[in-house]
Structure 1
Amino acid sequence: HLVSRDASSPPPLARHRPRGGDPDDRARRGAGPAGRRKPPLRPGTLLDGGRYEVTGYLAHGGQGWIHLAEDLRLERRPLVLKGLLDPHDETARLIALEERNHLIALDNANIVRILDYVTHHPETGGEGDGEGGGPGDEGCGAGGGPGDESDGAGGGADAGTSGAASGPVPGTGGAGAGGGAAEPTDYIVMEFVGGKPLQQIIDETRQGARPLGPGEPLTLEHAARYGCKILQALEYLHGKGLLYCDMKPENVIHHADRVKVIDLGAVRRMADTTTPSIATRRFAAPEVRAGGLPTVAHDLHTVGVTLRVLADACEDTGGSGGGSRAGSPRGGPRGNAPRGAAPDAAPPADAPPAAGLGPESFRRLVDRATEADPARRFASAAEMGRQLQGVLREMVSLRTRTSSIEPSALFEPSPTLLDAGLGSVPPVDRWTEGDAGAPWTPAPPLGSGRPEPREVAAGLPVPYPRADDPAVVQLRLPASQDPRGVVRQLEAVRVASVEVKLRLCRTRITLGELDEAERLLAEAARQAAAETEAGHGPEGGPGGRTAGGPDRPPSFGERGGPGERGGPRERHGPGERGGAGGAGGGIGSGRDDWRISWHRGLLELARGRVQTAEAAFDHVYSALPGEYAPKLALGYCAEHRGGTDRAALLYEAVWQRNRQQGSAAFGLARTCLARGDRRAAAGILDGVPPASRHHDAAAVAATRVRAARLAVDGSLPGRDDLLEVIARLPKLYLDGGAEHGDERTRLTAEIRGWALDRAREPGAARDTAGLSGPLLGTPPSEQRLRKLLAGSLRALAWLPGTDRRTRELLIDRANQVRPWTRF
């Protein structure tokens, strides 16, 4: 059964009282049967043959009092002692005895260290009548936290036990708090963690303080960093066969540049089905609140709620932090207030609201972790940690505008550039469309560069095959370059696994055989669902979401976002969530249905059903909020339906995080062109690094964008734009690196056509400073540009391989554009 710390824990004690203690508070601590709320050790008490000296008490945890002590053999190193809150409490005794045996071996940088176990004998070690608790307060020196009733008071080192790394009490019997019994009491000796509990940081932020340091607000990046460290600790525990069970902000301390998970009192073995489980009800998963046993899914739910509570207080999410900043109190143990963010780099002082897509990605991660159905949560702390790390990298990149590259473990990088020819030199057909006698425009507006849905379906990244798929070895072998050859190879594989069918589905999409692709996807979905039902299927995958829609993600105040401190909001069951259905499994049809949904999105794109594809990709985004691929796909879907702002948000999240993602750069540039912002589009394309396989295409596209007439408003380039074109054109890698060639001739002709249009604009002749030269003429007048463009068209006509009809048409075009002469 569940022992709720909300109900069983006594109220937390106030801290930083005057020497001697407040009389009313001392009376309150002495209340209850047998004086259960009195600290059993007084300052000056010696334990373990005089090695440990008690200097005061910090507070109480879920199962015992927490005292501060010093190790007299190690230069009075501060330590923490914890004993039973009520030595005669059978439940507390059973928990303590069980946990002592398997917690002593824990060794992880993010978990409090258990150093020793000692027994105190009142007849030799001094009476523990509890009256020394007040006077010893100034010796505790820990963390300076408010002693309010935050989040299910107790449950370990309360908000007021900052630095008191609490844990299970390994002992039985013992003296009552009032000193009336003479039985020995066991104590656990732990490292002293000098810092502040996350709950204290939250509370101080809500009160208008800056607990992380002057000018440093609590931000969503901090929350994500805390979460990554917490998940590392849980991953370690889970690897040891242990469950933490009671994660919440009070049980995590931020000190210096590290995070420590404290209060191991609720830790239990995964195989334990008899010991009562301990959890704070507001953070516990629904199945545990209903009487079920804790699981890994429950632990991840508690982390999700912890992240929601943190996010609700973050200033860059519109949280309740605020008020006066100057001279805000800082507190901290022994003057050792934590500085800087949680581990690693921190946001700058007074950071503005979190930029871009980061808050939405964070919210989606929390939503998945706290799904009502445990099967729809993350499958492991490692999986959740990888996704949270991706979200963190996204937020940092959006804030700093610097790339944070980390290869995806789930999606293969795609070699295809989704640019619809924007990064290519136009073919000769560009000048030969139409009949010779029809009206001809030498410089039509630059195309949008947006690929067709079927091109995107074939060019998006694809998932790596699952490592546990029966055919994974065959699927990792080099495949034929011919799609028909791929089909033959896959049909020869003896095991018709889910991954084989998904690979065949993609190949059929490439071939345009969409009905066959539909059949294969439906088979793969049914097989995946059956394997999951049998208990050996794939991991993880939440249902779709309904709130907000593609262009309006829910805010933190809406359902599914980090809410008030009252606890997680009610969630609907799996059958009540929205999403795309259809054959092939659709949304929410199995623990690993994100793979099915991804292929559903590809197939719907190939059919031209962009809205249905968008719903499928949106499910993948909710399942994998730290991945690039679903955001790239959703960016295209939003762009296709005219949601330019939403598309820009998605493309930028991918682009800022990884500048190698050429398709994201081109997509973001297209959103700029849709607003008529030529310079922003060219600047983004200039940012594709030389190491990227798409660098040369981006350089060509940037040159064309600077020189072109834009389709959205018909605007022509300015003088500064043409100056950039003149400087960059000779440096472009064209014709295999040759100085002259077919591609350079065609691109030169295109640029001269747009320059001719500009030269014909009123006042253009007065804005030609610096433009003179072989590309545009000296000076670049209309007459000279006509002559140069006619020469370019004749050069195209005589390129090797040009057929007679094309040559004649190009010469006709040259005659149409050349300047008139008298003879």
Structure 2
Amino acid sequence: MRCVRPGCPGSYGADGYCDECGRKAPASATAVPKQASTATTPSVATVSASGRTTPSSGRSRGSSRGGLGAGLIDLPRVPLRDPATAVMTDPKVSESRRFCVKCEEPVGRGKDGKPGRVEGFCPNCGHAFSFVPRLGSGDVVNDRYEVLGALAYGGLGWIYLARDRNLADSVSDRWVVLKGLINTGDADAMAAAVTERRYLVEIDHPSIVKIHDFVQHPDPKTGVPVGYIVMEYVGGQSLRDMLMARRAEGARVMPLAEVLAYGAEVLPALGYLHGRDLLYCDFKPDNVIHAEEQLKLIDLGAVRRIDDDVSAVYGTPGYQAPDVAEVGPSIASDIYTVGRSLAVLSFEFRGFSTTYASSLPERADIPLLAQEESYYRLLRRSIHRDPARRFQSASEMSEQLLGVLREVLSAVDGAPRAALSRQFTPERRAFGTGAGEVGAAAVAADLRPADVAGALPLPQVDVLDPGAGFLATLSSTDPAELVRQLEAPPVRSTEVSLRLVRARIEAGDLDAAGTDLDALTVADPFDWRVDWYRGIAALAAGRPGDARVAFDAVYGELPGEPAARLALAAAIECTGDTAAAEKLYDRVWRVDRGFISAAFGLARIRLAAGDRDGTLAVLDQVPDSSSHHITAQVAAVRASLVADQHSLLAAAGRLERLVLDVERQALLTVEMLKAALDWITGTHLPAHRLPDGVQVLGHPLTERGLRFGLERAYRTMAQFARDPDHKIALVDQANAVRPRTLT
């Protein structure tokens, strides 16, 4: 509602203060209806299954909240700073940061032991420069804001701390920040400030500093009116300051999990701006403040409209994307600045603004990148030289960043942190579980590429695709019939074409599937789903090497997706590179216990390497609620059927605890007793040295006792044999293994 103060044209905001005079609404005034939301939700683009984006908008809860860390990690609380202690006692611009705003040549530099001038003219182009604050302690701007002093300076201006005298009179001190210009004679900077006045006051997001006002104050030297932005004071620490503090303590960098958590908080704020056709342009650790349990983007001086191709572009070397100089800023260039900032915060990035101004160091040279492959791929995509290969929206990057964060945290403490994927279905079925299968259901224990092809997750159908409705009506499970229906669909679309590819692969027509994929690549060379189905087709054809290349490309596009790592691990294992496959299986299994294939892959590789304890450990992690719990325990039993008495007895204990039908119990009993008998006869222990009183599945751990047990198990199996010849063979085996007796 309108402000009740006489002559004031302002209105009361949701916080109860007038947006013009700053006074609090009187109790007698009708309160502004308190909504569940005081800020608009980022109108970010919706990410489709292809990774492309489509516009969306809406409103939801946007009030300030505590608890940084995306619900995955508790970040340390940063106490608010007393505003009075934040003021610079001797505000100066260091000589190394003095550049002409027109030609960008160094100015104000010292010579022959004498300090450089803080005001003067550029020797290169003659443009005037000044690095002296225009406001001092006690100055009052617009008859309202009393200046305490300078806080800092940035690329576009000095930043001052001030007290809002309108509020101080009747309520309490309200601290604000005034942002002016480093050089009041710079036309571009002045134009940028005027541009800010037009739309920045409308920005309302809990993670973006609030712009309260835009005022003018005459320059004390020239008398020319100078514009100042009035924004809320955020009294915490910038991420850069926090990094510097850690370096002073010897830590050098921030923990990766904290860095990713900060990124997860920042990206929605950038998405909010992008949804309003605004670009931040100059994102860097200096411009993010952590105050108590909240993160805020500050310094909106470089913000500009997406379609603005006239006003000056501001950025910071080492953070700004190389394409900005050629085609101007974009959403992709904002994404680039986030990737660069994550890199600077997470490892010692020497030469980030010179040698590696638009690249990353070799992965092998940075221990963190060598260890955290998913994080390395996240950075690599976010700062790709081709803007079209970067994440195409803040929400798309945030989704993958959170996946990487879950992986990093799970790798540290082993606790799973599964999340529903927006890109993939769950596993269609577990593959590589042969070691746990018994009887008629038993399959080969070795991993076969064709089995993997039919079991891996599938890309989610993009519900916005024109053919999504038609695909939902398909009910046939016969691949040939599906191919027939999909070849003459009522509507042609990318999703229909991809479903046809899948049907062709399942029908065994791999050549036609390859031709369709080639056509899809021409239509959209950046659709990761094409590479996914190329990988599936290669596995179906028995070419795991080609599948490895295809799934590696998908992993590069979706570094936070466990499904991508699972597919790559399986393809790598099929090529024989078990060491590389083990690392990927391990990361998948730690994050999400729903990927049973990862558990069996990890167990299979560990067992082959002789790591029996590691094998049993991962199989025991398959939860009781899983339909594959029994299968995992059977595999654990078989993994222990070697070596020594302790392992055999442990395996027998597992088998006794399993709830199996009589036939499968008998089959496993035969395996167990044969292994025990082989151990007894293989050790050649004298009879008096054989274990006394020890039993395996109720039978003494002696040759005679084990033979009686085997005889009984074979006869039990014979009762379930459906083929007469098989029944006779089992009875013969029972008679052959039975020890000699007098009766």
Equivalent in the alignment of 2:339: 304
Residue in structure 1 matching 2:653, options 721, 727, 742: 727
> For the Cα contact (< 8 Å) 2:520–2:530, is it kept in 1?
no
CA contact 1:486–1:507 (8 Å) conserved in 2? yes
1:591 aligns with 2:510: no
- Look up the match of 1:523: 516
Which residue of structure 1 aligns with residue 193 of structure 2? Answer: 96
Superimposed CA distance per residue, residues 28-58 of structure 1 (whole angstroms, 9 cap, x where no aligned partner) = 5455587722111111223343x43211112
**Residues in 1 aligned to 2:157 and 2:405: alpha-carbon distance in whole angstroms:** 37
Deviations 1:76-108 (A, max 9, x none): 343211112233321112111112221111122
Q: CA deviation at 1:756?
A: 1.7
For structure 1, list consecutive stretches of 5 or more residues without a partner in the other structure. 14-22, 121-173, 212-216, 316-352, 431-446, 533-589, 709-715, 736-740
Distance change >3 Å, CA 427–CA 821, structure 1 → 2: farther
Q: CA deviation at 1:743?
A: 1.7
Asked whether 1:497 is paired with 2:493, we answer: yes
Shift of 1:420: 4.4
CA deviation string 1:562-617 (max 9, x = no partner): xxxxxxxxxxxxxxxxxxxxxxxxxxxx121x211111111111121111111111
- Contact 2:279–2:334 (CA under 8 A) maintained in structure 1: yes
Q: Deviations over 1:325-365 (max 9, x none)?
A: xxxxxxxxxxxxxxxxxxxxxxxxxxxx9899862111111
Rate the CA distance shift 1:720–1:82 in 2: closer, same or farther, 3 A: same
Deviation at 1:448, TM superposition (A): 7.9
What does residue 811 of structure 1 align with? Answer: 731
Match of 1:246 in 2: 282
1:466 and 2:455 equivalent? no
Per-residue Cα deviation, 1:632-670 (whole angstroms, up to 9, x for no partner): 122122222332221111001100000121000101111
Whether 1:235 and 2:271 are equivalent positions in the alignment is yes
SS of the equivalent of 1:462 reads: coil
Q: Could you tell me how far 1:378 is from its partner in structure 2?
A: 1.3
Aligned residue runs from structure 1 range 435-446, under 5 A: none
Corresponding position of 1:693: 627
Q: 1:638 to 1:723 in 2, by over 3 A?
A: same
Partner of 2:374: 361
Cα distance change on mapping 1:83 and 1:734 into 2, 3 Å: same
Whether the 8 Å contact between 1:419 and 1:663 is mirrored in structure 2 is: yes
| Pair 733,776 (structure 1): closer, same or farther in 2 beyond 3 Å | closer
> What is the alpha-carbon distance in structure 2 between the residues aligned to residue 392 and residue 719 of structure 1?
43
Distance 2:105 2:229 in 1: 21
Shift of 1:763: 7.2
Query: Partners in 1 of 2:594 and 2:670 — Cα distance?
Result: 30
State the distance in 2 between where 1:518 and 1:235 align. 42
**Structure 1 residue 200: deviation in Å?**
3.3
Structure-to-structure mapping, 1:28-67, within 5 angstroms: 28-30=117-119, 36-49=130-143, 51-67=144-160
Query: Helix, strand or coil for the counterpart of 2:683?
Result: coil
The separation in 2 between residues aligned to 1:518 and 1:243, in whole angstroms, is 45
The equivalences for 1:617-632 within 5 A come to 617-632=551-566
Residue 272 (structure 1) shift: 1.6
Alpha-carbon shift at residue 488 of structure 1 (Å): 4.4
CA displacement at 1:268 relative to structure 2: 0.8
Judged with a 3 Å threshold, the aligned counterparts in structure 2 of structure 1 residues 694 and 108 are, in CA distance, closer, same or farther, namely farther
Tell me the CA shift for residue 461 of structure 1. Answer: 1.0
The equivalent of 1:483 in structure 2 is 479
User: How many Å separate the matches in 1 of 2:571 and 2:153?
Assistant: 55
CA contact (8 A) 2:637 2:652 kept: no
Match of 2:239 in 1: 198
Q: CA deviation at 1:427?
A: 3.9
Shift of 1:806: 0.6
Q: Could you tell me how far 1:412 is from its partner in structure 2?
A: 0.8
Whether 1:666 aligns to 2:666 is no
Distance (whole Å) between structure 2 residues aligned to residue 474 and residue 270 of structure 1: 37
Distance 2:646 2:473 in 1: 51
SS at the partner of 1:459?
coil
Which amino acid in 1 is paired with 2:208? I
C-alpha distance in structure 2 between counterparts of 1:267 and 1:194, whole Å: 22
Counterparts of 1:274 and 1:684 in 2: how far apart (Å)? Answer: 60
Q: Which residue of 2 aligns with 1:295?
A: 330
Following superposition, the deviation at residue 109 of structure 1 comes to 2.3
Q: Secondary structure at the match of 1:253?
A: strand
Cα gap change, 1:285 to 1:632, in 2 (>3 Å): same
Structure 1 pair 684/84, CA: closer, same or farther in 2 (3 Å)?
same
Does 2:695 align with 1:772?
yes
Distance in 1, matches of 2:182 and 2:584, equals 52
Q: Which residue of 1 aligns with 2:615?
A: 681
- Which segment is superposed worse, 253-262 or 218-227? 253-262
- From 430, 434, 442, the equivalent of 1:417 is 430
Distance 1:742 1:314, change over 3 A: farther
Change (3 A) 1:448 1:306: farther
| 1:820 has 2:740 as partner | yes
Aligned to 1:278: 314
CA deviations on 1:689-716 (whole Å, 9 max, x unpaired) are 123332232222222323x2xxxxxxx1
* Of 391-400 and 243-252, the range deviating more from structure 2: 243-252
Question: What TM-score results when the alignment is normalised by the length of structure 2?
Answer: 0.77
8 A Cα contact 2:501 2:517, kept in partner = no
AA in 2 matched with 1:377: R
- In structure 2, the CA distance between the partners of 1:254 and 1:490, relative to structure 1 (3 Å rule), is same
Q: Distance in 2 between matches of 1:763 and 1:642?
A: 37
Contact 1:220 1:354 in 2 (8 A): no
Q: Paired residues, what number?
A: 616
Moved more, 482-491 or 65-74: 482-491
| Cα pair distance change 1:656/1:391, threshold 3 Å | same
How far residue 821 of structure 1 moved from its aligned partner, in angstroms, is 3.2
Look up the SS of the partner of 2:308 in the other structure: coil
Matched, 1:612 2:612: no
Q: Which runs of 5+ in 2 are unaligned?
A: 1-96, 122-126, 351-365
C-alpha deviation, 1:206, in angstroms: 4.6
Change (3 A) 1:256 1:31: farther
Q: Give me the whole-angstrom Cα distance separating, in 2, the residues matched to 1:595 and 1:222.
A: 31
- What is the TM-score when the length of structure 1 is the normalising length? 0.70
CA contact (8 A) 2:238 2:289 kept: yes
- Aligned-pair Cα RMSD in Å: 3.1
User: Larger RCO: Structure 1 or Structure 2 (Cα < 8 Å, ≥ 6 residues apart)?
Assistant: 1
> Which of 164, 168, 173 lines up with 1:76 in the alignment?
173
8 A Cα contact 1:458 1:509, kept in partner: no
Q: Flag the 1:234–1:84 CA change in 2: closer, same or farther, 3 A.
A: same
> C-alpha separation between the residues in 2 aligned to 1:701 and 1:64?
67
Deviation at 1:218, TM superposition (A): 1.5
- In structure 2, do the counterparts of structure 1 residues 357 and 88 end up closer, same or farther at CA, with 3 Å as the change threshold? closer
